[in-house]
Amino acid sequence: MTRGRPPGMRVLLTHPVDSRARMRLAERTNLTRWPGPYPIPADDLARELFTQDGLLCLLGDPISSAVLDQSPQLRVVANLAVGYDNIDLVAASRLGIVVTNTPDVLTEATAELTWAILLALVRGVVPARQALLDGQWRYWSPTGFLGRGLGGKTLGVVGLGRIGQAVAARAAAFGMSVVVLGSRGQGPYPRLEREAFLATADVVSLHVPLTTDTRRMVDESFLARMKPGAFLVNTARGGLVDEDALLAALNTGRLAGAALDVFDREPVDGQHPLAAHPRVLATPHIGSATVETRAAMAERAVDNLLMALTGQRPRDLVNAAAWPGRCRYTPVK
């Protein structure tokens, strides 16, 4: 275990992050860097947290009510992600523990990845590459390796938050029009109710957080109302999709394909029926995975942690219920 200086505020870092942000944290706090294995096992997390004031964790670290209940000194949980469905927010607020996330800095990277896997899916880039590597490219065939075009088609955006807006804004570059499910969010796009939305969209792309309301929102009935031959893209959270229902829709050919960066239970491997499916392009939750974005996320998480620990309202406070009156300590100012 690497213990940093100076003594004072004690912070646990569950995984190595960008070195600049980590050094800043080590200069300002008594930093404990979990040395592995990764992700930190639940028992070790609970034991380590017993004496910590702050936690910088990942979306794969489950911060349950049991963990929080066993952390008597914990004041801040800074999640290195925009999503925070790994944290029991109700328990954190009940205990007066501040929770923060890292919005904004990953918007562009996630929108780019959405388009990268969408384009690769509809043009069959991955199977075409594999065919080349397997020696299957024998000549230029007018009927070989055919994908689908996007021009004149409609992109259906579910969730017009920051990432949904960034994805929608790029649609015009590919000649696509945009429709949006429901009335929330900003943007000059037609808002449709579910039935009309699903009957219109050639590609449905998910950009909502995982909550009790959105869990399994893409179920059998949702999939049955999508256009025959439509595509599904998910760079948000795997729990939004009923994976059995999606598998069935792909097997019957009702859906032409799915590009999935996220899964209900991560990680998955080549044995996972969706990841291995010939109509699926699967990637390992890499929406924000650029050097620039991951560094910016680490800086943002450290900012939030230090702000909360020094009594300032953190920039990306998720549970306003825990600030300031109910937080575990009295903010300095």
**Would you please indicate which residues are annotated as catalytic (active-site) residues?**
237, 266, 285
Q: How far is the CB of 113 from ligand DGY (least distance, A)?
A: 10
Between CA 303 and CA 313 the distance in angstroms is 11
Residue 56 in contact with ligand DGY, rule: CB under 6 A? no
Nearer to ligand DGY, 96 or 161 (CB): 161
CA 297, 298, 303: angle at the middle one, nearest 5? 95
Using CB under 6 A, pick the residue from 24, 51, 64, 83 that binds ligand DGY. 83
Nearer to ligand DGY, 114 or 288 (CB): 288
Nearer to ligand DGY, 68 or 206 (CB): 206
Cα-Cα-Cα-Cα dihedral sign, residues 197, 199, 205, 210: positive
Pair of tokens at residue 140: 């230029």
Residue 111 in contact with ligand DGY, rule: CB under 6 A? no
Between CA 219 and CA 240 the distance in angstroms is 9
Tokens 């200069």 sit at which residue?
A: 27
Residues within window 279-318 making contact with ligand DGY, judged by CB under 6 A: 287-288
Within 10 Å of residue 322's Cβ, how many Cβ atoms? Answer: 23
Tokens 């050094």 sit at which residue?
A: 23
Using CB under 6 A, pick the residue from 106, 122, 181, 318 that binds ligand DGY. 106
Nearer to ligand DGY, 105 or 226 (CB): 105
From 19-27, 41-49, 79-87, 177-185, give the range in contact with ligand DGY by CB under 6 A.
Answer: 79-87
Between CA 239 and CA 193 the distance in angstroms is 22
The DSSP call for residue 282 is E
Residue 59 in contact with ligand DGY, rule: CB under 6 A? yes
Applying CB under 6 A, which residues contact ligand DGY?
Answer: 59, 81-83, 106, 287-288
